[in-house]
A and B are shown apart, each in its own frame.
Chain A
Amino acid sequence: MRKTYMVVMIAALVAIVGNHLTSPSSGRAVSPEDFAGACAPCGAPCPVKK
């Protein structure tokens, strides 16, 4: 189990760092709710347009 954990952790960290370094990341951290029209934490729109 310890070896599995170490492998998973290293793979996850490499993936996170790799994704960060190869993706746009100039702005502040946001949640989908920060965008106009979002009606839920995942950014889903409202059933009835406001």
Chain B
Amino acid sequence: MSTTTISASAPAAPRIDYLFVGAAVFATAILIALVLLDGQPASAALILGGFGLGVAFLKAEFSYTASWRRFLTRGEAGGLIGGLLVIAICALAVVPIAALLPNFGGAIAPIGPSLLIGAAVFGVGMQLANGCGSGTLYTVGGGSGRMLITLAFFIIGSVFGSLSLPSFLALGGVNPILAADYLGPWGGLLATLASLALVAAIMAAVARQRGANWRPSRTYIIGGIVIGVLCVGVFLVGGHPWSVTFGYTVWGGKIFSALGFDFSQAEFWQWPGPKRALTDSVLTDTSSLTDFGMIFGAMAAAAATKRYAATAWPPFKSLLAAAIGGLLCGWGARIGFGCNIGAFVGGVASGSLHGWIWFGAALCGNLVGIRLRPLFGLSRD
């Protein structure tokens, strides 16, 4: 009996799911081999950077969606402040390098109705989907069937967004506003870090007032530092801050094209960047490279510790929320110039005002999304 007691209370040893660890490593190796055969070591580095991000996000359970929800419902600010740590680390490299060196640029975007509407819709979607751009990638990689549905509809919504974006841009707006353009590279960096410190202080004050915790957990701090450093690496290799959702748009555009849809009259797909992305190999798009790496990295990390994808499918209402949330996220990300990564992390880390405006609008959307969650059997907490 004592033996039974001892074996029952002893922690279970991690079980490696060799099939899926092997599949993730094999798929990553195939992609790296293909880009190296084309003589593109930088592309291989972006895949590996994405792989590292997938591992880091999964191990730290770094979730923007849950952090925003905890802040809005309970006042807990630790997760959000951990997210700001990522941005601060990234800004240390992005603001000065983008201002001083040719071939590097920050994540910029025009400020207008398109940004506000897109970010707000994205905010609603991320609470229904239970994940943002990066969250969808690492949870898909982590073995969540629900998030496979989210990803599929994220891609579809993103294509719809690509068709809508020109009309929303026509509503007007102003050109991007970059701190470094007004204050120089170092002044711009100081202003960016000061804005981050101010927002962190406000969040901490709100948390204290609501009697909630404001300190990021140790895991979030370590995860935030690792993710921040990897963001810098992706920036140095790719020339622009890490972005996620343009990859989804490209995948969707290619899938729809293969199904016979003609984008030759669609304005978005005639702009030079999207036009080239639609015709060229998916492995020449920087965001697709990191996206693929992130999925496989999270898959390897998840399968290294337990039997992979062993959970049952969630209820229909939850899958419906995943689909609707994915559509809203995809559409909103295209209209609002990105997700938490491309618009918020990348924008603020570049000293671009649109990043903070995106954050404010998305936060409002999150409030709506949290209220809608119970309709789909999802907790508000």
Contact = CB atoms under 8 A, between A and B. Distances in A.
A20 B169 CA distance: 32
Nearest to B161: A42
Contacts of B272: 32, 35-38, 43
Contacts of A38: 271-273
Nearest to B106: A33
Contacts of B42: 28-29
A47 B243 CA distance: 22
Contact of B282 (A2, A20, A30, A35): A20
Interface in B98-132: 105, 107-110, 112
Interface residue SS majority, chain A: loop
A43 to B, nearest CB: 3
Interface residues of B, number: 66
Contacts of A39: 108-110, 175-176
Contacts of B367: none
A41 B240 contact: yes
B79 interface: no
Contacts of A28: 40, 42-43, 284
A39 B273 CA distance: 11
Interface residues of A, number: 39
Interface residue SS majority, chain B: helix
B239 A31 contact: yes
Interface stretch (B26-34, B69-77, B212-220, B319-327): B26-34
A24 B279 contact: yes
Nearest to A19: B282
B249 interface: yes
A40 B173 CA distance: 13
A30 B162 CA distance: 19
A1 B24 CA distance: 16
Interface stretch (B51-59, B198-206, B224-232, B306-314): B306-314
A50 to B, nearest CB: 7
Contact of B108 (A13, A24, A37, A40): A40
21 contacts: A1-B145, A1-B311, A2-B308, A8-B148, A16-B282, A16-B292, A20-B282, A24-B280, A26-B38, A31-B240, A33-B108, A37-B271, A37-B272, A38-B273, A39-B176, A42-B268, A42-B273, A42-B274, A43-B272, A45-B271, A47-B175
Interface of A: 1-2, 4-6, 8-9, 13, 16-17, 19-20, 23-48, 50
Given A39-B110, A46-B110, 5 more contacts: A19-B282, A33-B105, A33-B108, A35-B276, A37-B271
